[in-house]
Chains A and B, each alone.
Chain A
Amino acid sequence: EVQLVQSGAEVKKPGESLKISCKGSGYSFTSYWIGWVRQMPGKGLEWMGIIYPGDSDTRYSPSFQGQVTISADKSISTAYLQWSSLKASDTAMYYCVRRGSGYYLSAAFDIWGQGTMVTVSS
């Protein structure tokens, strides 16, 4: 079964650092882009950025450039989303997603992780 399994919920204080993970299985991890999507409480979906684990080519949404770091370790089929200094406004559910393959499906996210809830509060 093709799946993305994310790390568990986190509760952090403002100013702390955090790295959450997303492990792919059931497919060739290095052959598909992995993205991250934010959903703030009660709000819609926001695309944050994407990485190609095969060569670590990474792109960021202008809204998130410089705010987070996306990385991947292809040896363990895992992608990461990282903050160096969390803010209360980072409180949200974060989903990792797989970019599909093929001309049409490559414009969509065909597999979603279960989400990681990050709560930042003093």
Chain B
Amino acid sequence: EIVLTQSPGTLSLSPGERATLSCRASQSVSSSYLAWYQQKPGQAPRLLIYGASSRATGIPDRFSGSGSGTDFTLTISRLEPEDFAVYYCQQYGSSLMYTFGQGTKLEIK
């Protein structure tokens, strides 16, 4: 089973700053099969990025994803107040098996 480790656990930044969130896999993941989600308090998660770098419908272009192999990154170019939330990476393996990372909390500094 592939384990996804996200870092940092908590990231404290100010609006307008750039955020860089990391997701590292215990073994190589096809970049086609790496996704990112955002979860705000009291809400269901929503899909941000799929295929490592494709934005989901309605996602602003300040969100971008990159990476390959075992190292993936979610970047938010200029933080808006509504971007402070918890972010999860997720990978898809064979036989319809999925794994989530433990999450990164992005908080206002």
Could you tell me which A residues sit within 8 Å of B by CB distance? 33, 35, 37, 44-47, 50, 59, 61-62, 95, 100, 103-110, 112-115
Contact = CB atoms under 8 A, between A and B. Distances in A.
Contacts of B33: 107
Of B44, B46, B54, B102, most A-chain CB atoms within 10 Å: B44
Contact of A46 (B1, B44, B54, B100): B100
Contacts of A109: 35, 37, 47, 90
A104 B44 contact: no
A36 B57 CA distance: 22
Given A33-B96, A45-B39, 13 more contacts: A45-B45, A45-B100, A47-B97, A59-B95, A61-B98, A95-B44, A103-B51, A104-B32, A105-B50, A107-B51, A108-B35, A110-B47, A110-B50
Contacts of B101: 44
Contacts of A106: 92
Given A45-B45, A112-B45, A100 B50 contact: yes
A109 to B, nearest CB: 6
B88 interface: yes
A100 B32 CA distance: 13
Nearest to A105: B50
Top 9 closest A-B pairs, CB basis?
Answer: A104-B51, A107-B92, A108-B35, A107-B33, A108-B50, A47-B98, A112-B44, A45-B100, A59-B96
B86 to A, nearest CB: 8
Contact of A105 (B34, B51, B95, B99): B51
B56 interface: yes
Contacts of A61: 97-98
Contacts of B99: 47
A44 B51 contact: no
Given A45-B88, A105-B50, A107-B32, A113 B44 contact: yes
15 contacts: A37-B100, A45-B37, A103-B51, A104-B54, A105-B50, A107-B51, A107-B91, A108-B47, A108-B50, A108-B90, A108-B92, A110-B47, A110-B56, A112-B45, A113-B44
